[in-house]
Structure 1
């Protein structure tokens, strides 16, 4: 007999994207049920790279430290040409978002850490070995039919369904029947992992050799991975035979017979994107929404951007803090950027996997030549080619700054700050998981009605002061009552505001700039923002306390 239960958010798929969504909803205080048809974490060789944006998302979810325990940070990437010479080494120096840009991990270990993090939240449940078989939605919610491993079915009523159920998404393919446009690449790749790493090469290497392009990289705990392109006529089953694996590895290790190969699997590269990321009350995230070739390491990172963008919107809507129509902004903000990352990966892969020797020689000559041109060299070696999201349509407001400086709709910096004269912490930890209104010193009191409306957004009010700008040692500058003083120890907030010609900035929970402007325009601009995005009915529903900062929670 079917049983019906209610949950604010149902998440389908407990991989890294789904588990991150669940952790974020846990932090935001929203009830969720996370299901996955697999009873255990898959041990296939999968994603290995996490960028600074991903780490900032884990920070917001309260799992960054747990992820770091099994991670190698700040890993360089080298590119080798047809003659085996290194023509580029990418090691970005910037940490503008608070983290290194290139970090390596083992996905199964990362998934363990993400799932362990969910134990913190009594309002988040996890059910493994449970699959979604049917879904219907109406104006008030979603009705999902779930089936467990024993075949028993039940229905779950949820306000929203977030589908992170992978590249063969049941939600996208079978239930919503959405188009998944793009291409499947002709060449497959075999991925091989061994333990007891036989090489002294603590970096990721892209070997652009026309004879057989391949990737070689070091992973945590003595693991080494190779990824080899397969050619037409090579059978994907035969290539996994131990003798063939040894043949592939023979040119690259002293004695392939001594390797302990623990994983080998053939993968197909896809460049695909769903027609829409939002259908009513159902949203797609991660591989369910888009598939990216691995050349620039952005497949999982793009999915984590989805989670960071989607989780707070679903949470704020469920809590009555954000107008329900704002959910559509998830598609508006994420679809175009996901498409741009796919296009970049396609171009990068086409250049690095050339099999024509003459074209490969021209490529190598180009990369060698740019070493003497600092602007071009830094564009490549500092990964400035990676397009950063800039949201023009969505939960953002053109307050007069965007047209001039284009900072509205972009991710905000994350320097170290000293909150209330305390020890240095990352900015996000000081501000907490909600919105934040950050003003340059000396700050400005807000009218009571506007302050109340911002309270509905769970908005922290903070003032950034220049370091050591108090009147005497140990004496802090004065700030308006109810506002948090942040000493800008790195002078980074001051420089950002000065460059933007701004006195204040409104930050979303995902730390994108929602609005910014001059002091004289602040009250009117903030009133326009809350009028556009905060429901009037929220005043009755949001008697809940503001989401506390990490410092307060501690």
Structure 2
């Protein structure tokens, strides 16, 4: 066995969740090793949908625009009755987080973009062809034993390990963690062809009892079908060319003319691990939870994991955050992951109904309510989607109901202006760190130097004051006093309505863009001080603040 290799973070699995996490850690300046058993990206029909939260995650890594190059944005989803009548269309107009809510991509292409992104970081390494064969942990770290394709073994010592190794996670099994839920009895065959033969630029869920199926357009002229298989139909036999043509025969004029480039059989699962954190090992993506694809949230849920976990690992390793607060990753992600699985199960049960009588009743119900304005808006804007919100974790609750309802939610991302004529998304202004955002004031005016020092240790030395949009070359809305940070203008009045509607003057935003604390100007020093006291690691355990800050600034510049 070769000598031990050391890395602060070891990521096991280089799928989209693992590599996104590695890009985030690279942005945060954390030395990271990613290992993957396979030597190439799987060229299978896999995830196709990315939501606005996912794109905001990629934005934090500096890769959003590159990912968009291989993506179709703002794609509607339609649901059809057994008689092929459209009873619902989902096309959210909101861009509250800065991006469209429904976007389609090809996972193999996306994974390649994410892997190329790792090349920007000298402190992040991707090693392929390595299989995990052993994992032990102690109070100081984790020791992983890896085996290469030639059978040679080596050990890696890490402060923390993250399992991103899929639904059949080797790490989860080694840790003895439960994976609770069920495997659905029906299998599905997924078929992709090129040179899209249909003029249907949307995702369609066809709720036909005869054989429920999904049909959608993908980038670069690809078309995907997903067909339910019935009891007695052998999955492998259904992939034979004649069976594939038979499945497609009812939907295209000449199935024999199609160039099928991918076909695979999948089983739907609804499962969630009992815990996402076990000592110094965390689970993310399918290793932590797996969901049927009905609402397109499988990969998106994993990317939420990466965004939530990445900054916490970095802040703990940099001596900013109390190590025990890493457990908040489970507290903040487990319940929401389960809620998304439950919603997908409900969608699947309703839309894949095979009983003709029940399907008829379902169709009549949905056709009857589709023109009720509130119902139509509820579906069209995807308001049925459970939005992440955590009442406990790395947040500051004050006992004031209106304010506490704001913490633990993702903050909006409007376009703002820092320099005249230059419109930017808010996250690009505040950077990959904590940010204190104040509305038409300096929330830290008169604050003691000790609080400024605490915020700097937290990674919040970038204060942003927002003022209303000015007219022409006139000065914007007044900003009293001498400001201690950046001044930006609210281009679209979005921040104006948010702050006035919530009756607060300032908001502390975490690196994953969730609200950590809010308040009025008069209580800013006290509330921010209390938050810092609760989450900051003891000063004697932190690395020198200047060095920690410099690593983050350098990594941000590199990502940009």
Whether contact under 8 Å (2:26, 2:555) holds in the other structure is no
Q: Report the counterpart of residue 433 of structure 1 in structure 2.
A: 432
Alignment of 1:134-533 (within 5 A): 134-173=134-173, 175-403=174-402, 406-421=405-420, 423-444=422-443, 445=445, 446-459=447-460, 460-468=462-470, 472=474, 480-533=482-535
Whether contact under 8 Å (1:172, 1:284) holds in the other structure is yes
- Give the aligned CA root-mean-square deviation in angstroms: 1.8
- d(CA) in 1 for partners of 2:407 and 2:352? 37
- d(CA) in 1 for partners of 2:120 and 2:352? 45
Distance 1:484 1:525, change over 3 A: same
How many correspondences in the alignment? 553
Q: Report the counterpart of residue 92 of structure 1 in structure 2.
A: 92
Q: Report the counterpart of residue 43 of structure 2 in structure 1.
A: 43
Structure 1 position 401, deviation (Å):
4.5
- d(CA) in 1 for partners of 2:296 and 2:303? 12
Per the normalisation by structure 1, the TM-score is 0.97
Q: Report the counterpart of residue 61 of structure 1 in structure 2.
A: 61
CA displacement, residues 160-203 of structure 1 (integer Å, 9 cap, x when unaligned): 00110001111002x11211110000000000001111111110
Structure 1 position 381, deviation (Å):
1.7
Whether contact under 8 Å (1:190, 1:228) holds in the other structure is yes
Whether contact under 8 Å (2:403, 2:519) holds in the other structure is no
Compare 452-461 and 429-438 and name the one that shifted more: 452-461
Q: Report the counterpart of residue 22 of structure 2 in structure 1.
A: 22
Whether contact under 8 Å (1:453, 1:530) holds in the other structure is yes
- Residue in structure 2 matching 1:542, options 540, 545, 556: 545
- d(CA) in 1 for partners of 2:19 and 2:105? 16
Displacement over 6 Å in runs of 4+: 549-553
Whether contact under 8 Å (1:432, 1:550) holds in the other structure is no
Whether contact under 8 Å (1:410, 1:513) holds in the other structure is yes
Q: Report the counterpart of residue 31 of structure 1 in structure 2.
A: 31
Structure 1 position 542, deviation (Å):
2.4
Structure 1 position 133, deviation (Å):
1.1
Distance 1:224 1:388, change over 3 A: same
Whether contact under 8 Å (1:470, 1:477) holds in the other structure is no
Unaligned runs of 5+ in 1: none
Per the normalisation by structure 2, the TM-score is 0.96
- d(CA) in 1 for partners of 2:123 and 2:44? 30
Structure 1 position 472, deviation (Å):
3.3
Distance 1:286 1:206, change over 3 A: same
Whether contact under 8 Å (2:403, 2:518) holds in the other structure is no
CA displacement, residues 272-317 of structure 1 (integer Å, 9 cap, x when unaligned): 0000000000000000000100000000000000001000000110
Compare 329-338 and 451-460 and name the one that shifted more: 451-460
- d(CA) in 1 for partners of 2:73 and 2:102? 7
Whether contact under 8 Å (1:430, 1:550) holds in the other structure is no
Whether contact under 8 Å (2:131, 2:147) holds in the other structure is yes
- d(CA) in 2 for partners of 1:57 and 1:29? 16
Structure 1 position 478, deviation (Å):
6.7
